[in-house]
Structure 1
Amino acid sequence: MSDNEGRTDLRMPDDDEVFAVVTEMLGANRVAVRCMDGTNRTARIPGKMQKRIWIREDDVVLVDPWDWQDEKADITWRYEKQQADQLREEGHIQE
């Protein structure tokens, strides 16, 4: 277990979810994100996350792109800084 020291099992994206990095705070519960599929999207912070989870620029999040409007998405999960560093080390996130 020495090579996995400090590694935790992280929540991975479901079928339609994508890793993204927050690039800009837009206000009105919206953020600009750069998704790992190469698309820049406007993501919504859902009501259940607004008061409990603070989202800042450069945070790594999971987004669920909208079926009917590909340039928009909903944020479903935010990773802590340590978890985000682990995702980068494992190659899930390209800067």
Structure 2
Amino acid sequence: MPYKNNDDNEENFTRVIVPNKRKGELYGIVEKLSGGSHLSVMCEDGYTRTARIPGKMKKRMWIRENDLVIVKPWQFQTEKADIVYRYTQTQANYLSRNSALPELINIFK
């Protein structure tokens, strides 16, 4: 995602993954861990969804409360979703500083 600096004409490139809106992916904040690889996630569209950690991420990526994640809602049950990606604290702060996060879920101010 390139962005332009107002001070000079340099173009910088970010190396942070952003949600693919065409696939229906959204930003979310983990509110509560429910056990059994299920969590409660507050999404950028205002809904709280029950999300699950898929098997390929389960042992490799540990998710805690107040983590910024990318979720993909299910097509047939929109109140449920899958976790696609978890941001590190540094990445979440970077997105917050560059105004890439919606105001509803921007807790990194």
State TM-score, norm by structure 1.
0.88
Task: Describe the superposition over 1:8-49 as per-residue Cα deviations: whole angstroms up to 9, x where unpaired.
Answer: 421011121000000000001100000011110000000011
Tell me the SS of whatever aligns to 1:76. Answer: strand
Query: Which residue of 41, 47, 54 corresponds with 1:33?
Result: 41
Deviations 1:35-94 (A, max 9, x none): 011110000000011100000000000000001111100000000001011122222143
Considering only CA atoms, is the larger Rg found in Structure 1 or Structure 2? 2
**Gap regions ≥5 residues in structure 1:** none
**Which residue number in structure 2 is paired with residue 24 of structure 1?**
32
Aligned to 2:70: 62
2:48 aligned partner, one-letter code: N
Find the counterpart in structure 1 of residue 18 from structure 2: 12
Distance in 1, matches of 2:102 and 2:55, equals 26
**Partners of 1:17 and 1:62 within 8 A in 2:** yes
Distance 2:41 2:95 in 1: 17
Provide the identity percentage: 44
- Structure 1 runs of 4+ aligned residues shifted over 6 Å read 1-4
Mark the runs of 5 or more structure 2 residues left unpaired by the alignment: none
Q: How many residues align?
A: 93
Of the three residues 24, 46, 59, the one matched with 1:51 is 59
What is the alpha-carbon distance in structure 1 between the residues aligned to residue 19 and residue 62 of structure 2?
A: 20
Higher relative contact order (CA 8 A, sep 6+): 1
Aligned residue identity for 1:10: V
Matched-pair contact (CA < 8 Å) for 1:87–1:93: no
Superposition TM-score, scaled by structure 2 size: 0.77
